[in-house]
Amino acid sequence: MSEKATISVRIDKDVKEKFEQICKAIGLNSSDAINIFVRKVIIENGIPFPVRDFNKK
């Protein structure tokens, strides 16, 4: 088994709660969901969806 590392991020409390609700509804915990995202970034060699500036009009 590979050695584990920790990533710590700060997000708004309401965002965290919504994220955890969605993860739970699809049978994941937040750690598993984030691990899936990280692995997908590695596979795609970038963010696996379009990213844009939502503040620009």
DSSP code string of 3-54 = PP--------HHHHHHHHHHHHHTT--HHHHHHHHHHHHHHHTS-SS----T
Q: How confident is the model at residue 2 (pLDDT cuts 50, 70, 90)?
A: confident
pTM: 0.81
pLDDT at 42: 98
Q: Give the tens place of pLDDT for each residue, 6-45.
A: 999 999 999 999 999 999 999 999 999 999 999 999 999 9
Check whether 57 has a pLDDT greater than 70: no
